[in-house]
Structure formats: C-alpha cells, structure tokens
Structure 1
Amino acid sequence: MFYLMKMLYDEFKPLVDLVLNNWTALQLAVEHGMGAPGGEKTAQLMSVYIARYCVENIVDIDNLTEALEDLMDEEFDTVCHDNSPKEVATLLLQFLALLKEGRREELQVRIAAMPTCQKWLSVPVCEAVPPQVCYP
C-alpha cells in the first residue's frame, strides 16, 4: 500500500507544483514578502504538504479549499477573496482523479491547455528525502 501511495505521490507532486506555479495569489504573496521570511521555501513545503494531504487522505473540494485557505492565511498572512483557493482545489482534485483512473492521455491534454508560466517554485532540498521527513 505504501508503495502505491509513493508512486501516486511521485506522479501527483509535479502536478501540484504546476498548479501552484500558476496560482497568482501565492506568487504575489511570496514576491511581496507576505508572512515570515523565506516565502519561497514555505511555498515549496506547501506544495509537498498539499500533495501528501491529497494522496494520503480522502479529500473533497471543500476540505482542500479550506486547507489552501488556512495555509495562505497562516503562512503568508493572505486571505484570498477571489475564489482562487476553490479553483486550485478543483483543478488539483481533477488531476488526481485522472491519475487514479489511469486517464493519462486526458491528463496530458488538460496540462497542455494550461497557461504557460515561469516555474518559480523549484524543488526544495528536502525533496531528496522521503516526504515524511518534510512534514511528519
């Protein structure tokens, strides 16, 4: 079971990175130094956390939206009034469902249709070790 979750995590994490790279609210919060210093590192760890949260739990749009809102508020002192956390949650869960269902061609089409963005979230140092070390 752990091996299957690890495989799913390994496939899903780059998708989380892609979606978070496209999330303007997160990018602006990091660029403008909202929250504690080290915002980019915090965003990288947020990506790890969100990927693990989705893979390891039964999550619906409301749960994930709330988790994203809480992370933005607690880590970046940012409240999103634009419904973007729900849009991000919806997209992430759609991608996860496509992965779980083995619909990789459809997933690739959806990814290709996303806007091109600068990949400002790089892989955090702790990605080299198992995810449990990053977020127990």
Structure 2
Amino acid sequence: MADTKEFFLNITQRLFSNWTALRMAVEHGMGSKDRAVDFCPYITDIIYMNDDLSSDDLAAELEEYMDREFQTELQDNSAKEIAEILMNFYHYSHDGYGETVMTEMNKLPQLQPWILSRDQIKQLTSKSLPINDDSSSDSEEENGNSMETTATNVSEWVEVKTRRKK
C-alpha cells in the first residue's frame, strides 16, 4: 500500500456512493452533487490529519457536514456506522494489514458513479475499473407518478421519463 491516502479516498468514495442519506440529500436538492464529491476528500483529509481521531469524533464530523452542507439531520445511526468502517480501514491500511484491507474492501458494495466528478468517471472508464451503474433500473413512485431513468454510459446524460398513472 504505497499510497494509502489515495487508496483510502477510493474506500471513502465507495462507502459514500452507497450511503443512502447522502444520496437522498443530493437527489432531493438539499445540496449539490459537487458538495458530495468534495465530501470524500474532505473526510479523508480529516482522518489523515488527526492521528488520535476516534470513530465518535468522525461520526460527529459526518453529521455536522451533512447538517451544514445538505441541511440534513441524520436520525439514524448511519454516520456512526460509516465512521466505524472508515476508521477500521484507516487502521488496517495505516498499520500494514494489506491482506485484511483487501478482504474487507471486497465485502463493500460496488462504487456508484453518481458520487464521482466527470473527470473521475473518465479516468475510471479509461482504466476499465468496475463501477456499478444500476441507474437503468432505478424507479421512483411519487404522487402517482413514476420516474424511470435510462443510462447507456456513465459519462453520458441520463434521460428521465415520467409516466402518469391513470
């Protein structure tokens, strides 16, 4: 693990891309996608700049960022869960447990491309790294309307179609 901080940023992106509270805050217009993209290196930097950081401190920072940048008050235990996972990965990677890091990383859900900037998506698609683009199967029911998205490539625009129930 020569560059653990860059590797750790990838872990953070993978976790955050699957964090329902964060994704819903962006999808519901509580904050921009750019703020979510910036959240990953911000948290990575906090972890790497504070040697004595606890998972409780990190959870408090996650909750504060969500409140400040997304006007979202978390009422579940997700910030604590994310913080514990991040701190475990930090200790594994920082203390040289490479095999443990890889085993635990393989247990994580795949990276969702919504959290990446366009430049990051281009880099990933050029490297042919696996990312999960399940946006073609997303559907949403709201006020009797159905929203269906279709995407052919993660770097292209997503077409949104509405269907009214009669």
Q: TM-score, normalised by structure 1?
A: 0.79
CA distance in 1, matches of 2:91, 2:116: 25
Aligned partner of 2:147 in structure 1 is none
Structure 1 counterpart of 2:27, from 31, 43, 48: 31
In the alignment, is the contact (CA less than 8 A) between 2:14 and 2:110 conserved in 1?
Answer: no
Question: How big is the shift at 1:124?
Answer: 7.2
Alpha-carbon displacement from aligned partner over 1:74-129 (angstroms, at most 9, x marks no partner)? 0000011111000000000001111011112111111111233523211476xxxx
Residue segments in structure 2 that go unaligned for 5+ positions in a row: 120-166
Question: Larger Cα Rg: Structure 1 or Structure 2?
Answer: 2
- Structure ranking higher in helix proportion: 1
C-alpha change, 1:117 and 1:46, in structure 2 (3 Å) is closer
> For structure 1, which segment, 56-65 or 85-94, has the greater mean C-alpha deviation from structure 2 after superposition?
56-65
Q: TM-score, normalised by structure 2?
A: 0.66
In the alignment, is the contact (CA less than 8 A) between 2:30 and 2:71 conserved in 1?
Answer: yes
Aligned partner of 2:5 in structure 1 is 9
Higher RCO, 1 or 2 (CA under 8 Å, sep at least 6)?
Answer: 1
- Structure ranking higher in strand proportion: 2
Structure 1 counterpart of 2:63, from 69, 88, 96: 69
SS across alignment from 1:55:
helix
Residue segments in structure 1 that go unaligned for 5+ positions in a row: 1-5, 126-136
Aligned partner of 2:73 in structure 1 is 79
SS across alignment from 2:115:
coil
Superposition RMSD on alpha carbons, in Å?
A: 2.0
Structure 1 counterpart of 2:43, from 42, 46, 50: 50
Question: How big is the shift at 1:53?
Answer: 0.4
